[in-house]
A = this chain, B = another copy of it.
Amino acid sequence: MDEHVQAWGADDIRKLDKSYRRNLINCLSGFKSACLLGSQSLSGVNNLALFSQVFHVGANPPLMGVLFRPQVVPRHSLENVRANRFFTLNHVHQDIYPQAHQTSARYDADESEFDAVGLEAEMLPGFSAPFVKEAHIKIGLIAKEFHTILANQTQLVVGEVVSLSIPSKAVGEDGFVYLDRLNTVTISGLDRYHKTEALERLPYAKK
């Protein structure tokens, strides 16, 4: 047994202190996306919430997935997305990550996180969910599928990208988006924010 390595089996994990386990397990998925999810209630209140479980599902049709934790109460974002299907994902960058983090506080249903944390809502005609004006990469989606993870009632929402706005300086000739040119951040665990530095872009792997 290497003393420089900490190892846990299934029983060890089960017996961990709740807070310790939450920190530990939340770090296992590696570096994560940092996105502000904008939604709107049927009564017109704009909601904004930080999500790190955001992932690519497919390019054609253009699909993204978001996991909604059911145990987080209130869960205004999920209710809004279920009700009106429109939502936005806005990449968090270095100038707005403290405000993004602050959206996690438990605001009431009739309070807009935009006002509470000091970000500005930006609306597009015909799209009933708010974008974040201060964000650089702004994605508009329509929810297409809802799946329930049976083991813990987590909700997976798959949305189709129907609107996209990215600063030109970050878009390569081949469509690649250079996130670091926009100071996009990444999250580890529940609460640690990182900037990135490119190592390299590798060519398509051949045998």
Contact = CB atoms under 8 A, between A and B. Distances in A.
The interface residues of chain A, by DSSP majority, are classed as mixed
Interface of A: 3-10, 13, 16-35, 52-65, 67, 69, 89, 91, 94, 97-98, 101-107, 116, 137, 139, 144-145, 147, 149-152, 154, 156, 158, 160-169, 171-172, 174-180, 184-186, 188-189, 191-207
A137 B163 CA distance: 37
Given A151-B144, A175-B21, A105 B206 contact: yes
B192 A198 contact: yes
B161 A27 contact: no
A124 to B, nearest CB: 10
B29 A175 contact: no
A60 to B, nearest CB: 6
B162 A10 contact: yes
